[in-house]
Amino acid sequence: MDLRKDFPRSMRFKLAGYAHLARMIDKCRAALAGTEGEYIYPCPIDERLMEFAGITSDQFTIAVKVNSTDEGVVKWLEQTAKTHEPAELEEWNRKLLARGPSSPESAARFKKYLAAIDPSRTDITAWSDLQDLEEGRIVPRREPASQST
């Protein structure tokens, strides 16, 4: 995986039921190869997934290093991670994919990135959508939330 030339998979791509897992594997593989470019592993989103799964970045990095396939990493994860009911995992995925900036500094970065990519996309409020837009994936336009009076 050379992230100087290609994009990692979308956060929305699910592997073993987890949103972001495939992207995290891609970034970890690139970091191990020294080809991560501007991508960061582990980033705060990676840390959220690992916390939810009950694993550390050191454990995950070793698992990716010794398992050359997604299937191997998934098998390791299934043996190592905390068990979650399907509904709990889906709720966690939903929240992760809807997550937007969590601080004024994060909001300023988000706004700066969005302005550089497509300032007309005022409907983009989640990091997952911003990443997909930046990486050339189609992000459907959403209607603005209606204001209560």
Task: Return d(Cα 36, Cα 8) in angstroms, integer.
Answer: 10
- Containing 92, the helix (H) or strand (E) segment is helix 86-98
CA 81 vs. chain centroid, Å, equals 18
Token pair of 83 as six digits: 């068990």
In this prediction the pTM is 0.90
- pLDDT tens figures, 32-49: 999 999 999 999 999 999
- pLDDT tens figures, 86-122: 999 999 999 999 999 999 999 999 999 999 999 999 9
